[in-house]
Amino acid sequence: MMLEPGATIGILGGGQLGRMLAVAASRLGLMAHVFDPDPLAPAGQIAHLTTAGYDDLAALRAFAASVDAITYEFENIPTTALDALEATRAIHPNRRALATSQDRITEKDFLRGLGLQTAPYAAVNSLADLEAALVQIGAPAILKTTRLGYDGKGQARIMSAAEAPAAWAMMQGAPAVLEGFVTFTHEVSVIAARGQDGAVACYDPGENVHQAGILRTTTVPARLSAGQRTDAVLIAARILNALDYVGVMGVELFVTAQGLIVNEIAPRVHNSGHWTQNGCAVDQFEQHIRAVAGWPLGDGGRHSDVVMENLIGDDMARLPAIRQERNAAIHLYGKAAVRAGRKMGHVNRVVTAARS
Amino acid sequence: MMLEPGATIGILGGGQLGRMLAVAASRLGLMAHVFDPDPLAPAGQIAHLTTAGYDDLAALRAFAASVDAITYEFENIPTTALDALEATRAIHPNRRALATSQDRITEKDFLRGLGLQTAPYAAVNSLADLEAALVQIGAPAILKTTRLGYDGKGQARIMSAAEAPAAWAMMQGAPAVLEGFVTFTHEVSVIAARGQDGAVACYDPGENVHQAGILRTTTVPARLSAGQRTDAVLIAARILNALDYVGVMGVELFVTAQGLIVNEIAPRVHNSGHWTQNGCAVDQFEQHIRAVAGWPLGDGGRHSDVVMENLIGDDMARLPAIRQERNAAIHLYGKAAVRAGRKMGHVNRVVTAARS
């Protein structure tokens, strides 16, 4: 089904990703209708906003009835909400992609099933499980709840077996997974898109630097050999095809001496793809909307080198200096309250010289 | 005065230009509040819209009180409306720029006063004036009302002196100007910006093709020698500086054997600058908002070659084919009703090969 101009895209979640998706929809002549429990959701400044909880099935049904297709900016959507929506309207990316990425063990089983490399992992549902897993995988390792946390929440590093009880206690009884550490030189991500016609288009891989579990910068092009670059794109394409995926996905990869190891996948537009706004003719947000609307994918070729820097919390104090930079494209999210760790915006520094 | 994130830009006019200005404001973390008599104004889909007439002084005053700075997407704003607004808030570009461009004779006098070339012209307030002007300037020539028409309205071509009475009748008694034809090889335009600090930045000139008085395509780079390119930019800078201008201006130039001749200036973002959305890190809309908000200008360097094509009226029937093009960045304006001659959207075809 191809949506025509004037049709409405429903977006679950009105944070910065929902906001930038809504802008992309408007650029294509589509309307955006955003659903978010927060009346101050940033996307509400530029799109119609329904303010209701994800447990408000009546509001969800009214929302579904008012839109022509549904997508989302985050993957922790309750199953009951998805059931209520999907009774009326198609959801892209699909339920299988959501279910796969919502559970770390399901995700890793899926990736291994495709013949891809992941970090060593083991399910942990008790302290005894954890102790056995530590023998198998070794320390240091990291214990995580299997259901998604966000930006490093719900995780415990284990440096030695003696720390197992404290780490297990932090899980508060939730099902968990122990992941072995991977020795990697750097992390890259591939922002990949797949259309309803099955066509796949990948953006050039970006190189990511995190700090305290939050993405700080993405640099494009990433440090990769030609062979690694090809591998990265093929891995992403294999994942999207296996899920019969529609939309944009972020695929995080560790670069190691043993090849590329899949860290995690996110079934949505991704912070590490923000560079595409100033590096490509069609950015990740517009590509995602094109896919959700049933349009053919657009041109994701890279015309410029870009370094994307997140503006987090007090980074906003540097805004006056950043405004003075000639090559800095500024993207702010319309959030009034600055809080530590809160993503307030980002800057794309275009580092390629202009043509003459 | 530099506006900080969360401040509001007031925009007079909610057509496609106002809509794209509102999107650019949101990208910079600014709010947009649009004023337009039409409740279906396209910008209303993505920004707060006040629906009232330009003769509604109470609505204008309330609008001015609710915003931090005011700009506009069109130059035919009534003087009484400007008076009501300017009593409360700064308007950029300034009144002098508006007054100059609202009257063809004032504009040409101003340009000549700067030492720039224009087509030959003479004021016409009667049939006798017209006949005298035709002797002076010769035919063919074109008679226009001095106050602005739009896209070729309010104009009469005169191929010989015998057509003078009919042409004068078409002016319906309004003050007019007779303009001589200029022999030119092609038309280019410079999209120029000036910040509140007096800095000027010009985008690369684009080459324009019109049809029936409406812009069809802009191609960048334009066919210009290095010397002509320099001249074009210097002409634009001279105009902006002379007006103490703040914001983006479109300067249309004829390329002739006798040098560059200024056709007309538009004190606003310009259709012939739409290519910047996919050719530059900071496009004309964002550059305009930066200037109006008191920010330093951003990077207008061109990273790609672009051909911009307007989608006018029935051109929308070609949308399915355009969607299939890999290098076509599509921009639609959210207008429901397709009418002959109505600008529905545009396509930026990025013709530079991607980097690898």
What is the number of CB-based contacts under 8 A between chain A and chain B? 129
Whole-number pLDDT of residue B124: 96
Residue of B237, B202, B195 lying closest to B1 (CA atoms) = B195
Q: CA of B83: how far to CAs of A234, A249, B13, B79, B94, in Å?
A: 62, 52, 17, 6, 12
Query: Each residue's pLDDT tens digit in chain B (356 positions)?
Result: 799 999 999 999 999 999 999 999 999 999 999 999 999 999 999 999 999 999 999 999 999 999 999 999 999 899 899 999 999 999 999 999 999 999 999 999 999 999 999 999 999 999 999 999 999 999 999 999 998 754 456 789 999 999 999 999 999 889 999 999 999 999 999 999 999 999 999 999 999 999 988 999 999 999 999 999 999 999 999 999 999 999 999 999 999 999 999 999 999 999 999 999 999 999 999 999 999 999 999 988 999 999 999 999 999 999 999 999 989 999 999 998 889 999 999 999 998 756 65
Look at B303 and A304 and tell me if their CB atoms are within 8 Å: yes
Whole-number pLDDT of residue A313: 95
A296, A301, A354: residue with CB nearest B354: A301
Provide the residue type at B104 as one letter. R
Q: Which residues contact A201 (CB under 8 A, 6 or more apart)?
A: A192, A193, A194, A195, A287, A297, A300
Tell me the pLDDT tens digit for each residue of B80-96.
999 999 999 999 999 99
Whole-number pLDDT of residue A299: 84
Token pair of A82 as six digits: 């998805």
Q: Quick one: which H or E segment has residue B31?
A: strand B31-36
- CA distance linking residue B351 with residue A51, whole number of Å: 43
0.80 cut: is pTM over it? yes
Question: Could you tell me if B29 and A334 are in contact, meaning their C-beta atoms sit under 8 angstroms apart?
Answer: yes
Is A265 in a helix, a strand, or coil?
strand
Whole-number pLDDT of residue B153: 60
Residue of A nearest to B224 (CA): A356
Tell me the pLDDT tens digit for each residue of B260-277.
999 999 999 999 999 999
Query: Strand pairing of B141-145 and B155-158?
Result: antiparallel
Report chain B residues whose CB lies below 8 A from the CB of A281: 278, 304, 327, 329, 348, 350
Residue of B nearest to A23 (CA): B23
Mutation for A interface: B3, B21, B27, B200, most A CBs within 10 A:
B27
Is A192 in a helix, a strand, or coil?
strand
Look at B328 and A355 and tell me if their CB atoms are within 8 Å: no
Query: Strand pairing of B48-51 and B31-36?
Result: parallel
Look at B304 and A19 and tell me if their CB atoms are within 8 Å: no
Whole-number pLDDT of residue A155: 87
Look at B333 and A304 and tell me if their CB atoms are within 8 Å: no
- CA distance linking residue A204 with residue A276, whole number of Å: 9
- CA distance linking residue A46 with residue A36, whole number of Å: 14
- Enumerate the β-bridge partners of residue A91: A70
Q: B241 to chain A, minimum CA–CA distance in Å?
A: 21
Q: CA of B138: how far to CAs of A51, B125, B133, B182, B264, in Å?
A: 67, 18, 8, 11, 21
Whole-number pLDDT of residue B351: 85
Q: Which residues contact A118 (CB under 8 A, 6 or more apart)?
A: A108, A111, A112, A261, A262
Q: Which residues contact B314 (CB under 8 A, 6 or more apart)?
A: B338, B340
* CB of B330 less than 8 A from some CB of A: yes
Look at B45 and A22 and tell me if their CB atoms are within 8 Å: no
Entry field: residues in chain B: 356
Please classify residue A289 by burial: count the beta carbons closer than 10 Å to its beta carbon, then call 0-12 exposed, 13-18 middle and 19+ buried: buried
Whole-number pLDDT of residue A354: 62
- CA distance linking residue B202 with residue B193, whole number of Å: 6
Report chain B residues whose CB lies below 8 A from the CB of A346: none
Q: A50 to chain B, minimum CA–CA distance in Å?
A: 15
Query: Each residue's pLDDT tens digit in chain A (356 positions)?
Result: 799 999 999 999 999 999 999 999 999 999 999 999 999 999 999 999 999 999 999 999 999 999 999 999 999 899 899 999 999 999 999 999 999 999 999 999 999 999 999 999 999 999 999 999 999 999 999 999 998 754 456 789 999 999 999 999 999 889 999 999 999 999 999 999 999 999 999 999 999 999 988 999 999 999 999 999 999 999 999 999 999 999 999 999 999 999 999 999 999 999 999 999 999 999 999 999 999 999 999 988 999 999 999 999 999 999 999 999 989 999 999 998 889 999 999 999 998 756 65
- CA distance linking residue B286 with residue B30, whole number of Å: 11
* CB of A27 less than 8 A from some CB of B: yes
ipTM of the complex: 0.91
Look at A333 and B29 and tell me if their CB atoms are within 8 Å: yes
* CB of B304 less than 8 A from some CB of A: yes
Say what the alpha-carbon torsion angle A329, A330, A333, A334 is, to the nearest 10 degrees. -130
Say what the alpha-carbon torsion angle B37, B42, B45, B47 is, to the nearest 10 degrees. -60
Report chain B residues whose CB lies below 8 A from the CB of A299: 326-329, 350, 354
> Phi/psi class of residue A201: alpha, beta or left (left: φ > 0; alpha: ψ in -120 to 50)?
beta
Tell me the pLDDT tens digit for each residue of B109-120.
999 999 999 999
Whole-number pLDDT of residue A188: 98
Mutation for B interface: A46, A287, A304, most B CBs within 10 A:
A46
Q: CA of B181: how far to CAs of A17, B40, B90, B213, in Å?
A: 52, 39, 38, 15
